[in-house]
Amino acid sequence: MQIEFPVSEPVYSGRTLTLQFSARVDGRSVPCAISVEALEDHFGAEGCDQRAWEHAFVSGRTAIEAAARQHLVLTNGSPVLLKSGHFPPGPADAHTESRGGH
């Protein structure tokens, strides 16, 4: 399964309180999203507004795409909705540092 994440800005949905992004799985577009709650809980979104959530997404993009990739593999390329429970407790950067990352 070939999975890529096109470089593009996430799109905020006030209806679902998510930031939406896309993946390409074996050449087809698959919708992905992350809840604003997950961005606040794990990616340091400061404030409760679209700009803060977008900044948190951009800052945490590598970890967010890694989680989406895992989900895509497990579900054979089905659409992804990442919620706070998909990430270990605490800020995402703390987990990266504890594994010897940046």
pTM of the model: 0.86
Note whether 66 and 74 are within 8 A (CB). no
Alpha-carbon span 73 to 68, nearest angstrom: 9
Q: What's the CA dihedral at 12, 81, 65, 11 to 10 degrees?
A: -10
Token pair 């949905």 is found at: 13
Q: Tens digit of pLDDT per residue, the chain (102 long)?
A: 999 999 999 999 999 999 999 999 999 999 999 999 999 989 988 878 899 999 999 999 999 999 999 999 999 999 999 999 888 876 766 444 433 443
